[in-house]
């Protein structure tokens, strides 16, 4: 049976090891949901790192781990501490991540990182090749694996390879400064179909290919010496039904079944019925514009003091890449900003910012989405931003206002949100006021359009569109060959 191999840096599973016994459970991220029909329902295999460091796994444990991984229709790529330092924290998160998000001053160009990135991409290629059979399809995900398409294609030109980039592709002027720019482009061009969230990222990629490698490009294709590569945009959606049905259930909770967080949030609403809650959720990452957001909120309180005690910023930051220097620095900056603003404006009965630095269970995430009247999402750059989409999906009564950065890929599909420039603190402060004061009828009108779009183009449709396009690219290639 023909199958699809999905390849991503991390496997969509959680391993539990107790007294030498290993069990696994699937993780429930958006990507895993979207790819479920490609993975589970078509006998596919998901290849990636299982989260364990190679040195910590002896041969006995290794076979138990692999058995547990196989139960989830997955296969592991073993990574050592050195691989993680050079490939993951190094090249992926200290070179590519800042460069592709236009934080050039944060990027480190190190040959050691690059060598590690190449070596680890080769490790992934080896596992892919071991699992490939004639006629199979491979779908590679994201910036950690940009050399993989070429490594597969060189060995198996017959296999259909797709690649999707989850982060922005930067403009040519930024991309050209990377010392390994040719190798990265050639790595990606091993794919038959390359997908991006938006047309802008696609355009930037085409321009880099034509100006750096000199290949002829058209609106969405690149002509190489021996084949044609197709490029297209596929804005990733969310599991809309899951978010909207959980929110409906959440609103029907009784006093007894409510979560502690929900109780606190409701308590806040009962105590101060006219007070509004503004939600901010992201991984703690410098691309997400968290510091600007807090400063803009401070500006709002300064400019519109009537709102003191009548608003609260509920801010959830999920720990992320805390080994990387810039992330440590950012954590400190956010802690200080929150402390300063709470110190400056708090009254005996009111704290302007509720700050949580942790991951939260899904039900708490829903509690926040359903309880907060405004969502303030202000990334400096973001490939897509699924939080914005999840917030709108959870507003089942159609109330709620989304303030969204123009620099998020999601802004392209969410025109009815209040779009802002994340560097314009005055504008954000004024937009917070506008959001709080927006009449319910207008909120509902805006959300109605966004909801119907998000419902239609959900994460399953996204995966289906990509796979259908890949199939049609393959069919066209075969037609050209037989002519
Ligand atoms: P991320 O940068 O991680 O993803 P985002 O798209 O917002 O950003 O997705 C975050 C996900 O984590 C959301 O699904 C959200 O529900 C979940 N989450 C957030 N806070 C949480 C918490 N405290 N506890 C549990 N879960 C939480 C990258 C790119 C994005 C792109 C996605 C998908 O950087 O631009 O949208 O991939 O392609």
CA neighbours closer than 13 Å in the CB half-sphere of residue 332: 5
Q: Is 239 in the pocket of ligand 1 (CB under 6 A)?
A: no
pLDDT at 366 over 90: yes
CA Rg value for the chain: 23
* DSSP state letters, 341-383: HHHHH-BTTB-SEEEEES---HHHHHHHHHH-SEEEE--SSBS
Kindly give the number of the ligand 1 atom that is closest to the alpha carbon of 281. Answer: 20
Q: What is the pLDDT of residues 172-183, one digit of tens each?
A: 999 999 999 999
Q: What is the pTM of this model?
A: 0.95
For residue 260, what pLDDT is reported?
Answer: 67
User: Contact 383/411 with Cβ under 8 angstroms?
Assistant: no
For residue 85, the SS3 value is helix
Residue with the smallest CA separation from ligand 1 atom 37 is 166
Stretch (H or E) spanning 35: none
Lateral strand order in the sheet of 311-318: 353-357, 311-318, 276-283, 374-377, 401-405, 418-420
pLDDT at 256 over 60: no
For residue 196, what pLDDT is reported?
Answer: 98
- As a whole number of angstroms, the distance between CA 398 and CA 310 comes to 22
Distance 283 CA to ligand 1 centre (A): 7
Here the contacts of 81-86 (C-beta below 8 Å, separation 24 or greater) are: 81/53, 81/54, 81/55, 82/116, 83/54, 83/116, 83/119, 83/120, 83/123, 84/53, 85/116, 86/112, 86/113, 86/115, 86/116, 86/117, 86/119, 86/120
Q: What is the pLDDT of residues 423-473, one digit of tens each?
A: 999 999 999 999 999 999 999 999 999 999 999 999 999 999 999 999 999
Burial class (CB in 10 A: 0-12, 13-18, 19+), 27: middle
- As a whole number of angstroms, the distance between CA 387 and CA 403 comes to 12
pLDDT band at 37 (very low <50, low <70, confident <90, very high): confident
Please state which of the ranges 64-78, 167-181, 248-262 shows the lowest mean pLDDT.
Answer: 248-262
Place of tokens 């005690």: 309
Q: Is 386 in the pocket of ligand 1 (CB under 6 A)?
A: yes
Please state which of the ranges 46-60, 161-175, 246-260, 340-354 shows the lowest mean pLDDT.
Answer: 246-260
The answer, yes or no, to whether ipTM is higher than 0.85 is: yes
Distance 385 CA to ligand 1 centre (A): 7
Closest Cα partner for 193 from 408, 467, 482?
Answer: 467
Closest Cα partner for 74 from 46, 112, 109?
Answer: 46
Distance 190 CA to ligand 1 centre (A): 28
pLDDT at 480 over 90: no
Share of the chain above pLDDT 70, in %: 96
Residue of 387, 402, 410 best suited for mutating to test ligand 1, as the one with most atoms within 8 Å of CB: 387
Q: Is 93 in the pocket of ligand 1 (CB under 6 A)?
A: no
Closest Cα partner for 187 from 203, 165, 172?
Answer: 165
pLDDT at 483 over 80: no
Closest Cα partner for 75 from 85, 65, 88?
Answer: 65
For residue 341, what pLDDT is reported?
Answer: 97
Kindly give the number of the ligand 1 atom that is closest to the alpha carbon of 388. Answer: 7
- As a whole number of angstroms, the distance between CA 9 and CA 30 comes to 15
β 221-223/216-217 pair status: antiparallel
Q: Is 368 in the pocket of ligand 1 (CB under 6 A)?
A: no
Q: What is the pLDDT of residues 140-188, one digit of tens each?
A: 999 999 999 999 999 999 999 999 999 999 999 999 999 999 999 999 9
Residue of 359, 362, 386 best suited for mutating to test ligand 1, as the one with most atoms within 8 Å of CB: 386
Q: Which two tokens stand for residue 173?
A: 């002027």
The 8-class DSSP code of residue 171 comes to: P
Q: What is the pLDDT of residues 221-241, one digit of tens each?
A: 999 999 999 999 999 999 999
- As a whole number of angstroms, the distance between CA 23 and CA 14 comes to 8
Q: What is the pLDDT of residues 367-379, one digit of tens each?
A: 999 999 999 999 9
Average pLDDT of the chain? 93
């Amino acid at each position: 049976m023909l199958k699809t191999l999905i390849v991503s840096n991390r496997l969509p599973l959680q391993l539990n090891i107790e007294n030498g016994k290993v069990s696994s459970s699937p993780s429930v991220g958006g990507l895993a949901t979207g790819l479920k029909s490609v993975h589970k329902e078509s006998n596919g295999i998901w290849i990636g790192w299982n989260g364990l460091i190679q040195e910590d796994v002896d041969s006995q444990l290794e076979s138990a781990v692999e058995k547990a991984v196989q139960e989830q229709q997955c296969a592991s790529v073993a990574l050592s501490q050195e691989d993680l330092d050079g490939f993951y924290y190094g090249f992926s998160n200290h070179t590519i991540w800042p460069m592709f998000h236009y934080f050039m001053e944060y990027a480190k160009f190190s040959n050691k990182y690059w060598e590690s990135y190449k070596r680890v991409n080769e490790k992934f290629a080896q596992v892919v090749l071991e699992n490939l059979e004639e006629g199979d399809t491979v779908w590679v995900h994201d910036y950690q694996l940009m050399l993989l398409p070429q490594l597969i294609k060189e060995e198996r030109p017959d296999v259909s390879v797709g690649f999707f980039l989850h982060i922005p592709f930067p403009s040519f002027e930024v991309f050209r400064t990377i010392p390994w720019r040719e190798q990265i482009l050639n790595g990606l061009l091993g794919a038959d179909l390359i997908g991006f969230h938006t047309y802008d990222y696609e355009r930037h990629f085409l321009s880099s290919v034509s100006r750096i490698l000199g290949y002829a490009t058209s609106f969405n294709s690149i002509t190489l010496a021996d084949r044609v590569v197709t490029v297209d945009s596929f804005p990733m959606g969310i599991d809309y039904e899951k978010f909207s049905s959980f929110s409906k259930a959440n609103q029907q909770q009784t006093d007894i079944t409510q979560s502690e967080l929900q109780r606190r949030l409701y308590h806040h609403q009962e105590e101060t019925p006219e007070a509004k809650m503004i939600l901010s959720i992201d991984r703690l990452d410098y691309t997400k514009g968290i510091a600007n957001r807090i400063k803009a909120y401070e500006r709002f309180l300064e400019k519109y003091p009537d709102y003191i005690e009548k608003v609260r910023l509920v801010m959830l930051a999920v720990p992320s890449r805390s080994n990387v220097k810039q992330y440590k620095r950012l954590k400190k900056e956010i802690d200080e900003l929150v402390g300063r603003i709470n110190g400056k404006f708090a009254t005996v009965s009111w704290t302007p910012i509720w700050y949580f630095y942790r991951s939260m269970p899904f039900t708490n995430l829903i509690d926040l989405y359903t309880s907060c009247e405004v969502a303030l999402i202000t990334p400096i750059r973001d490939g897509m931003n699924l939080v914005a989409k999840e917030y709108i999906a959870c507003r089942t009564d159609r109330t709620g206002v989304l303030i969204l950065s123009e620099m998020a890929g999601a802004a392209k599909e969410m025109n009815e949100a209040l779009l802002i420039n994340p560097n314009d603190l005055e504008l954000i402060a004024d937009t917070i006021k506008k959001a709080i004061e927006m009449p319910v009828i207008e909120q509902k009108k805006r959300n109605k359009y966004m909801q119907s779009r998000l419902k239609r183009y959900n994460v399953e449709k996204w995966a289906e569109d990509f796979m259908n396009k890949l199939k049609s690219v393959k069919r066209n290639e075969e037609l050209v060959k037989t002519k």
